[in-house]
Amino acid sequence: MKYLSRLALLACFAALLCWSVTPLAQVKRHFTVRDSIEMVAFSRNPGTGRYEEVSFSPDDRYFALITTRGLLQPNQIESIIWLFETSAVKSSIAQSQGTQRPQPKPLVSMAGFSGHDQVNDDSIVNMRWAPDGRSIIFLGRNGKPERHLYVVDVTNGKVRQLTPDGQDVREFEQRNDEFVYTQVESVGDSELYNAASPALPDIEIGTGLSLDALLFPKWQEVLWEKRPRHMWVVRDGKPSPVIDNATGKPISLRTDWFGSLCSISPSGRYVVVKNYAERVPRAWEFPETTIVADEPNKEPRFNAARPQQYELVDLQTSRISVLIDAPLGRVAGYGYADQTVVAWSADEQVVALPNTFLALNQPAPSGRPNPRRPCIAVVEIATKEAECVKESPLIDLKQGPAEILVLRDLQWQENDQQLVAKYSKFKAKICCPRYSNEVTDTGNRLVT
Contact 108, 125 (CB under 8 A): no
Task: Give me the residues paired with residue 83 across strands.
Answer: 64, 105
Q: At what angle do helices 2-26 and 86-94 cross, to 10 degrees?
A: 80
Contact 53, 87 (CB under 8 A): no
- HSE (side-chain half, CA atoms, 13 Å) at 422: 11
Contact 151, 130 (CB under 8 A): yes
Looking at residue 105, what is its pLDDT?
A: 94
Q: Return the closest-CA partner of residue 283 out of 357, 392, 380.
A: 357
pLDDT in tens, the chain (448 residues): 444 444 444 455 455 444 443 444 566 889 999 999 999 988 766 555 566 678 999 999 999 999 999 999 888 999 999 999 999 988 888 886 666 778 899 999 999 876 666 556 889 999 999 999 999 999 999 988 889 999 999 999 999 999 999 999 999 999 988 999 999 887 766 677 777 778 778 888 888 777 877 877 776 677 666 788 999 999 999 999 999 999 999 999 988 777 889 999 999 999 999 999 998 998 888 776 778 888 888 888 777 778 899 999 999 999 999 999 999 987 766 666 677 899 999 999 999 999 998 886 666 666 665 677 888 999 999 999 999 988 887 666 565 566 777 888 999 998 989 999 998 877 655 443 333 344 455 444 443 3
Task: Give me the residues paired with residue 178 across strands.
Answer: 175
Q: Which residues contact 440 (CB under 8 A, 6 or more apart)?
A: 420, 421, 422, 423
Q: Return the closest-CA partner of residue 117 out of 192, 216, 34.
A: 192
Q: In this structure, which amino acid lies at residue 130?
A: A
Task: Give me the residues paired with residue 161 across strands.
Answer: 150
CA separation for the pair 356, 274 (Å, rounded): 11
C-alpha distances in Å from residue 32, one per residue of 39, 78, 235, 236, 399: 10, 19, 48, 49, 40
**Residues written for the chain:** 448
Looking at residue 395, what is its pLDDT?
A: 64
Q: Which residues contact 145 (CB under 8 A, 6 or more apart)?
A: 112, 113, 114, 115, 116, 168, 186, 187, 188, 189
306: helix, strand or coil:
coil
Looking at residue 368, what is its pLDDT?
A: 65
CA end-to-end distance (rounded Å), the chain:
39
- HSE (side-chain half, CA atoms, 13 Å) at 49: 11
Looking at residue 152, what is its pLDDT?
A: 98
